[in-house]
Amino acid sequence: MGKASLGNFINVQIRGSNAVDSLSRKLYIPKPIFLYNLYKSASTISNNKSYNLSWNPDEQNMFGKVLIQVDYHTGSSQTNNFENPGAVKGLVYTVSDNGSFVIPAADLQRFPVSSYISISISRATDNSWPTNRGHIEYIAVTSAFSSPILIQN
C-alpha cells in the first residue's frame, strides 16, 4: 500500500478459485494524523489546566470520529518520583474528527505531578462484505503518539 495511499481510495481485488469467490472494492485509507502541539522535544502539561489538543481532520473519515487516549507511564513516573503510583487508569475519548479537543483539567488531575503520560489519537475505516464462503473484514487505522509528557502543576 505505502504512504501514498494515506488519505486516498484504493482498489482492492480478492481473487478466489472462481468468479463467485472473487471481488473488487474501492476502500478508503485514512489520512495520517499530525498532533500539531505535541511535537515538541520536551513537553510538559499542567494537571490543573485543561489541555487543547489539535490535529489535522480527515473530511473523508467514514465514522467522523477519532479515538484519543491518555496513558500513564508507570516506569518513567516511578523513576522520576518513587512515590508515584504503580498504575493510574488512563483516559479514553471518542470525539468528532474536527481537528481539536480539550482534555478537561478535572480529568488530567488523576495524573500526579512528576508523573509521565502519553497522548495518542487514531482514526479508522472499517469495510466488510459477505462472500459465499464467509465474511471479509478490512480495517485500516492511522495513529499518532506523543513522546512522554511530564505532568506539572
Task: Print the domain residue range for 130.
Answer: 29-152
Instruction: Look at 88 and 127; give whichever has higher pLDDT.
Output: 88
What is the model's pTM?
0.86
Total domains present in the chain: 1
Q: Is residue 33 part of a domain?
A: yes
pLDDT value at residue 4: 74
Q: Summarize pLDDT for 51-83 with one digit per residue, the tens.
A: 999 999 999 998 999 999 999 999 999 999 999
CATH of the domain at 39: 2.60.40
Establish if 1 belongs to a structural domain: no
Residue 50 lies in a domain: yes
- In this structure, is residue 8 part of a structural domain? no
How high is the pLDDT of residue 2?
Answer: 63
pLDDT digits (tens, 9 = 90+) for 11-40: 888 777 776 667 788 888 999 999 887 766
Whether pLDDT at 49 is above 90: yes
Note the pLDDT of residue 21: 66
DSSP string, 44-104: EEETTS-EEEEB---TT-SSSEEEEEEEE-HHHHHHH-TTS-S----EEEEEESSSEEEE-
- Specify whether the CB–CB gap between 74 and 116 falls below 8 A: no
Average pLDDT rounded to a whole number, residues 83-102: 97
Residue 20 lies in a domain: no
Q: Is residue 45 included in any domain, yes or no?
A: yes
Pairing of strands 149-152, 134-145: unpaired
Q: Is residue 12 assigned to a domain?
A: no
Q: Is residue 14 part of a domain?
A: no
